[in-house]
Amino acid sequence: MLELNQCYNMDCMKGMAQFPDGFFDLAVVDPPYFSGPERRGYYGSKVSKIGVYRDYPVSPVWEIPGRAYFDELRRVAKHYIVWGCNYFSYEFASGRIVWDKCKKGTSFSDCELAATDLFNTVRLFRFMWNGMLQGKSVAEGHIMQGNKKLNEQRIHPTQKPVALYDWIFQNYAAPGCRVLDTHLGSGSSRIAAYEAGVDFIGFEIDPIYYAAEEQRFLDYTSQTSLFHLT
Ligand SMILES: C[S@@+](CC[C@H](N)C(=O)[O-])C[C@H]1O[C@@H](n2cnc3c(N)ncnc32)[C@H](O)[C@@H]1O
């Protein structure tokens, strides 16, 4: 059995198979919606900060999740939040979360959409995420962080801000509940889960992103424990 509060370098389908029905209270997932190499130009060039010098995407081929994945996700988790729901043909419940990235005039989407069965309305979260332009905080996400040195470091081409997951867990996950992220990427969800005091498991299939995510999490927790000591 895999352990809570650990992340694993493995295919999420193999990971989820190890859990009984309804083990997780909430799954917050962000699966790839394109298969990889043929969309090479999609991300631009490189992200470099912690030595991840490579063109994107890097995995040989990402399998776009289909019905088997979403059925399995719903088997192991009582509730779900699925980012990129507009790219998947699956009968999601009617709740939606809109993340407004507070950017205009680029060729990329202004917003991202998640489907959820937690409610049947539409909720909005605003947090600036446009290259070096990043939001200030969960409460003032539409205002630009004044000091770029305090910006969140980016280690993954489709990294979502920790603040987005902070907002999700503050609103939809009680401390001590069990949360799953099947497609960890940079591990932003893991950092927010740690802060929220929820029990967390994540999977990442790419060994290089997995290693980068592990290092990011280690750096984050060692910095915050130092902060708590001083
Ligand atoms: C859209 S990204 C997730 C980004 C993440 N939300 C973040 O904030 O950084 C999807 C990730 O899923 C990984 N992935 C693709 N197929 C996978 C699978 N079958 N199991 C686990 N991870 C997978 C990819 O390597 C990629 O890092």
Q: Whose CA is nearest to atom 3 of ligand 1?
A: 185
Digit-coded pLDDT (tens) for 76-121: 999 999 999 999 999 999 999 999 999 877 777 899 999 999 999 9
- 33 inside domain: yes
Digit-coded pLDDT (tens) for 168-225: 999 999 999 999 999 999 999 999 999 999 999 999 998 988 999 999 999 999 988 6
Q: Whose CA is nearest to atom 2 of ligand 1?
A: 185
Q: What is the pLDDT of residue 107?
A: 73
From residue 130, how far is each of 79, 83, 113, 135, 153 by CA, in Å? Answer: 30, 18, 17, 9, 13
CB-neighbour burial class of residue 191 (10 A; exposed 0-12, middle 13-18, buried 19+): buried
- 1 inside domain: no
Digit-coded pLDDT (tens) for 32-74: 987 654 454 444 444 444 444 445 545 556 778 999 999 999 9
Q: Which residues line ligand 1 (CB under 6 A)?
A: 11-12, 30, 32, 59, 62-63, 156, 158-160, 182-183, 185-186, 188, 203-206, 209
Digit-coded pLDDT (tens) for 7-26: 999 999 999 999 999 999 99
Q: Could you tell me if residue 84 is left (phi over 0), alpha (psi between -120 and 50 degrees) or otherwise beta?
A: left
User: Which of 13, 82, 127, 183 to mutate to test ligand 1, by most ligand atoms within 8 A of the CB atom?
Assistant: 183
Which contiguous run of DSSP H or E holds residue 26?
strand 24-29
Ligand 1 centroid to 132 CA: how many Å? 22
Span 131-160, mean pLDDT? 91
- 133 inside domain: yes
User: What residue numbers bound the domain in which 75 lies?
Assistant: 6-229
Helix (H, G, I), strand (E, B), or coil: what is residue 78? strand
Report d(CA 24, CA 80) in Å as an integer. 10
CA 228 to chain centre: 26
Q: What is the pLDDT of residue 228?
A: 54
Report d(CA 157, CA 96) in Å as an integer. 24
- CATH number of the domain enclosing 132: 3.40.50.150
Digit-coded pLDDT (tens) for 121-130: 999 999 999 9
- 223 inside domain: yes
Instruction: Please tell me the number of Cα atoms within 13 Å of 26 on its side-chain side.
Output: 25
Q: What is the pLDDT of residue 52?
A: 44
From residue 28, how far is each of 54, 66, 134 by CA, in Å? Answer: 27, 17, 22
Domains held by the chain: number: 1
